[in-house]
Structure 1
Amino acid sequence: MAVFWGVDSTVNANEEVLLCVQRNFGIPDFWGRYLSTVPNASEGLTKDELRFLRSKGIKVMPIYNDFNNPVGRQEGKVMARNAIYHARRLGIRKGTVIFANVERFHEADAEWLIGWVETFYTSSYRAGFYHDPMVGGFHSAYCEAVQKEEFVKNQAVLWSAKPEKGISTKRSKPKFNPKKPRCPGLVWAWQYGRDAKVCPIDTNLAEEKLFNLMH
């Protein structure tokens, strides 16, 4: 099984940031970036940034985080439509997985997750969830969603934030072994290191099947 090494950042990936990552950690295979600007949280991905990363041979893993209360099916659908709008606006290629950034402090419910996946299912993109499988409400909400709607486990790609192994270089990356939910799920990505001190990035691993579904 091929595993790819990458980073994610809340700041724009420019020449300076890439140089920092390259010198200290290695050249990423992919870069997780946020689809829109959210004050005090993330700088939004731009078309120039997309072109820049692709010109360096780096794939882009899109993330959507412009929500505070991931509760209710209708709200999940609205947020999914917003994420799809931004992906289209930026020219993200069809088939790309778009990750909802469900943080440990979010009280997500099953209905919101179902609404997100349902809306993506009829779009030209695929649903994903960045999540903490151990802390917060995601784990139980996800398993409830899977129980209610089987398509959730077959469609939603999961990006696990546990266990935290600590930042590493590309060369010394850990073996792919993310924490998985107790119910069935496609855990194809793992954020194993958070908040590097020398560059504004986290470090990640992704299986080839997800790497092929990046922009």
Structure 2
Amino acid sequence: MSYVWGVDSAVNVTEDVYNCVLNNFGKPMFWGRYLTTVPNASEGLTQTEIRLLHNSGTKILPIYNKFTKSTGKRQGRVVAQNAVFHAKRLGIPKGTFLFANVEKEFEVDAAWILGYVEALYPSGYKPGFYNDPKTGNFRSAYCKAVSQNKLIAEQAVLWSAEPEPGVTKKAKAPTFRPSKPSCQANVWAWQYGRGATQCPVDTNLIDQRLQNELW
């Protein structure tokens, strides 16, 4: 299995930011970016960034984070619908994974995960979850959701935030060993380093299968 190196950022990708990553770490094959602006959390993806990244041969990994609670099936469906709305607004094609950003301090339950996947999948986009599989209750909620609907494990991709050996250059990236839940899961992405000092990014490795279905 081959793995691909890239970054994610809460800030907009300017030429300066892109060149900072290029010169300090290496060429990112993908860049995780948030679909909307959330005060004190993220700057929303722009058409200028999209052109810059695509012209540089870097794919976009879309993240949706305009929510702070991950409980209840209805709320999961609402988050999925909002993610789809913003993906379409930005011109992101169907078939692309849209990652719901589940922070470790969030309350999360199986119903919310079921709601997100069941609402997102028929839209033509694919469901993903950024999560911390060690701290918080995402892991147990995910496995409960899988036990209730095995399609969750087949359709969803997990982006693990653990373990965190630390930021590296592309050439020094660690072997792909993200933490995983105890049940069936497609853990195809790993944020292994957070808060680089040289540039405002985190460093990641993803499975080539996920890279193929980014934008």
Is the pair's TM-score, using the shorter chain for normalization, greater than 0.5? yes
Q: CA separation in 2, counterparts of 1:95 and 1:36?
A: 20
1:112-142 C-alpha deviation (Å, 9 max, x unpaired): 0000000111111000000000000101100
User: Helix, strand or coil for the counterpart of 2:94?
Assistant: coil
Aligned ranges 1:9-158 → 2 under 5 Å = 9-158=9-158
Question: Residue 170 of structure 2 aligns to a residue in which SS?
Answer: coil
Partner secondary structure for residue 171 of structure 2: coil
Distance 1:22 1:121 in 2: 34
**Unaligned stretches of 5+ residues in structure 1:** none
Secondary structure of 2:203's match? strand
Alignment of 1:128-207 (within 5 A): 128-207=128-207
Q: Runs of 5+ in structure 2 lacking a partner?
A: none
Q: Give the TM-score normalised by the residue count of structure 2.
A: 0.99
Paired letter, 2:87: A
TM-score (norm 1): 0.99
The runs of 4+ residues in structure 1 deviating greater than 6 Å are: none
In the TM superposition, residue 39 of structure 1 has moved relative to its aligned partner by 0.5
Q: Which amino acid aligns with 1:166?
A: G
Percent identity (aligned):
55
Partner of 2:4: 4
| SS of alignment partner, residue 136 of structure 1 | coil
1-side partners of 2:109 and 2:195: how far apart? 27
Aligned mates of 2:46, 2:137 — CA distance in 1: 32
Give the letter for the 2:178 counterpart: P
- Post-superposition CA distance 1:41-68 (Å, at most 9, x none): 0000012211110000000000000001
Which one-letter code corresponds to 2:140 in the other structure? Answer: S
Q: How many residues align?
A: 215
